[in-house]
Amino acid sequence: VVMVVKVYISADLEGVCGVVQTEGPEGADHNLMRRLMTGEVNAAVEGALDAGAEEVLVNDSHGGMRNLLVEELHERALLITGRPKPLLMMEGIGSGFDAACFIGYHAMKGTTQAVLSHTITGLVNKVVVNGRPLGETGLNAGIAGYFNVPVALLTGDRAVTEEARKLLGRVETVAVKEAIGRSAARCLSPKRAREMIREAAKRALSNLQVY
């Protein structure tokens, strides 16, 4: 078991509880989605701190990458916001981190019964690495792996949690919703989703293994 000191969080939007469609900044629901996203990130930060983390770095990883509400972010978190940035969804990752958490993630393009599934942008049809199709979960886990940082936790809809377990094996997951269609889902309450994320983050980071 590893003593967790530094934790990295990559936060997307499509996999956040209650989000079933995303719109630009002018969208009527965008501010609500930002609050929901910030709430789930804060829950992961709290779980990391519960597990003994001394530093938590959060990278806003959706769209223009200015979604998280800075004034509502947990006071112990550090934030990377805006773009462009060289590693995009994984900006700030490095060998000094003990673990990575992926919050609000979505399934790869082509996944059936998944909320807002896609890979990187709508212009990308498929990404194959070593003969295996990968979505953002796999690609970003590969970047973390380059720096020897294990992915300890992933949250999102049920489809992406299944994708993560098949790909990564030992990873804690939280399914905050289950797709009915691409833009419809059966969702937990945000309060319950945050409770589960905090508990899962603490569990994952308290039992982190290095091989």
Q: Which residue type occupies 106?
A: H
Q: Measuring CA to CA, how many Å separate 147 from each of 66, 100, 155, 175? A: 25, 11, 22, 27
| Widest CA span in the chain | 47
- Cβ(169)–Cβ(157) under 8 Å? no
- Residue 80 and residue 154: Cα distance in Å, rounded? 19
Bridge partner list, 155: 174
- Would strands 151-157 and 55-60 be described as parallel, antiparallel, or unpaired? unpaired
For every residue of 27-46, DSSP letters joined together read STTHHHHHHHHHHHHHHHHH
Residue 118 annotated as catalytic = yes
Token representation of residue 138: 């796999």
Taking the CA atoms of residue 91, residue 92, residue 94 and residue 98 in that order, the dihedral angle to the nearest 10 degrees is -110
Selecting among 62, 74, 106, 118, the annotated active-site residue is 118
- Cβ(145)–Cβ(162) under 8 Å? no
Residue numbers annotated as active site: 118
